[in-house]
Structure 1
Amino acid sequence: MKTTPEHDARMAKITFASVYPHYITKVEKKGRTKEELHHVIRWLTGFDDNKLQELTDEKATFETFFMQAELNPNAHLITGVICGYRIEEIENTLTKQVRYLDKLVDELAKGKKMEKILRAA
């Protein structure tokens, strides 16, 4: 499935604060922890707990969120389907980055080992 310009614009405007509680609920419901979630987010973005709190408090959009991130050099190794989209086929950079995060949260919730989630060599 190919993203549309409207879809990409919608993704850019979503606030991290609006989805973050859902990420926590999703992973905790499956027996994972908020600390593990933060570890995964830190791996992808470089954000520590204080920066995550700051971005949440200021209701940063995903556009701002990923503009400030230092994406992990191995992020391109995140592949597969999430929300009906094959990540490696997404052309819009920001939409791809949001889907990277979604995929990591999904893998965490599914019980994957941390070294697999973090694409350890």
Structure 2
Amino acid sequence: MMVENNPYRTILTHTILIMGIAVIIFPIYITLVASTHEKKDIATSVQPWLGDHLIENYTTVLKSGKKTVGGVPVGQMMVNSLIMSVGIVVGKIEISIISAFAIVYFRFPLRMFFSGLFF
């Protein structure tokens, strides 16, 4: 079966892909722009460009959090996520090394099944 190089199909495909990218990127862009403005500016209207409070807002969020609701600083949450992910990765690597050693050097029933299960 041969695929035809139809220019209309190519244009339609690219249009759909560009619209999909716009649907994904637009909320991320609005969030980034809103995070650089003061709260009163965000409440009045959507600002199309980055604001003047980028460093100030991100420093507040990373170091002190939102004190009015008892929020934890984002920096502390990121350190916690880093510690957890490093611990999980190290644990998985240890288990994988032990399993690979057992599969390669020991003869036991269903050895090939477990080898295929991992790969």
Fold shared, TM-score > 0.5 on shorter chain? no
Which of the five TM-score ranges fits, normalised by the shorter chain?
Answer: under 0.3
TM-score, with normalisation over the residues of structure 1? 0.19
TM-score, with normalisation over the residues of structure 2? 0.20
Higher share in helix: 2
Mark the structure with the bigger radius of gyration: 2
